[in-house]
Amino acid sequence: MKKRIVVALGGNAILTTDPSAKGQQQALVQTAYYLADFIEAGHELIITHGNGPQVGNLLLQQQVGATEKNPAMPVDTAVAMTQGSIGYWLENALVDELKKRNISKNVATLLTQVVVSETDPAFQTPSKPIGPFLSKDEMEREKKQTSATYIEDAGRGYRKVVPSPKPIDIVEYPVIQQLVENSIVTIAGGGGGIPVILKDDTYQGVEAVIDKDFASEKIAALIHADMLVILTGVDHVSINFNQPNQSDLTKVRVADMEKYMEENQFAPGSMLPKVQAAITFIKENTNGKAVITSLENIKNLLTEETGTIITA
């Protein structure tokens, strides 16, 4: 049965060991191969994606080349720039993959603004990691040159952090809905969306990065998606992760996931926002499903319903 599915793709899945345009385009060729399974199965597909590594790298590049006459762009503009570049690469990769399968389908990338509150407490406590992972020595050198805040992230090194306010609305969600209703595969909400506040009836960009899982949930809820699929580096969410008694979660209820959150089972900045976004989506759409799994497990998800499947 045809379903409307929002798939949230992590920025780290786009940027592998090669940060060049060619390297990222090649990674997205493989990504498109897996995503095309949703379309081939007859589903309506909306793709969102992260951009943490990409926007962080772009900001670093701009800092190096910035002058008084040619200043670096602010974070919201950098988000828009990487939203466009990743969408461009992904759209072309997906069109090429669909052609190989003899599937005639239009694909469109939509620049997406996400409304946040000017009074969100996140602006006082930067927490969203962006950019590459740095060693402690690299981080210390960067801190001497900028006023940025850095944190240790998931045991993989240090990353710059910026404010990460919660999304309260999606400016272009009616357009996303129209595209989907006209059978157009839609890429939207890139990098969590361009963060804007509504001031004097005008949208104004702010220095922040919105978590792509929360933005994806908001899009999924507004367009009445049947399923929210959040892709990550593992096939299942686990409790007691990396411990001898690690246990993978398969089909699980919201109440159970909330209990695991109370036990601090999920790492902040890593698995926790994915779980929180999944729970929020189901509470807003009790007939829907949320799935957290890997890109490589998509075919199994479609045929056997594997991965961590969360329901009301």
Selected catalytic residue, list 10, 11, 191, 288: 11
d(CA 97, CA 89): 12
**Which residue in the list 160, 218, 274, 289 is annotated as catalytic?**
274
Q: Are 190 and 181 in contact (CB under 8 A)?
A: no
Query: 100 near 33, Cβ under 8 Å?
Result: no
Concerning whether 299 is annotated as a catalytic residue, the answer is no
Q: What are φ and ψ of residue 176, in 5° steps?
A: -55, -45
128 is catalytic: yes
- Residue 136 catalytic? no
Whether residue 264 lies in the annotated active site: no
Q: Residue 124 gets which letter from DSSP?
A: G
Tell me the two tokens of residue 7: 């798939």
> Per the residue annotation, which of 212, 285, 288, 289 is the catalytic one?
212
Helix residue ranges per DSSP H, 149-224? 173-181, 212-222
Structure tokens at 239: 């409790």
Under a CB-based contact definition with an 8 Å cutoff, are residues 188 and 48 in contact? Answer: yes
**Rounded-to-integer distance, Cα 36 and Cα 9, Å:** 13
Write out the two tokens for 36.
Answer: 């095309």
CB-CB contact of 156 with 269 (8 Å): no
- Report the run of H or E that residue 35 belongs to, with start and end: helix 21-40
Q: Tell me which H or E stretch contains 239.
A: strand 238-239
Which residue in the list 128, 160, 218, 289 is annotated as catalytic?
A: 128
240: annotated active-site residue = no
Q: Which residues are catalytic?
A: 11-12, 128, 212, 274
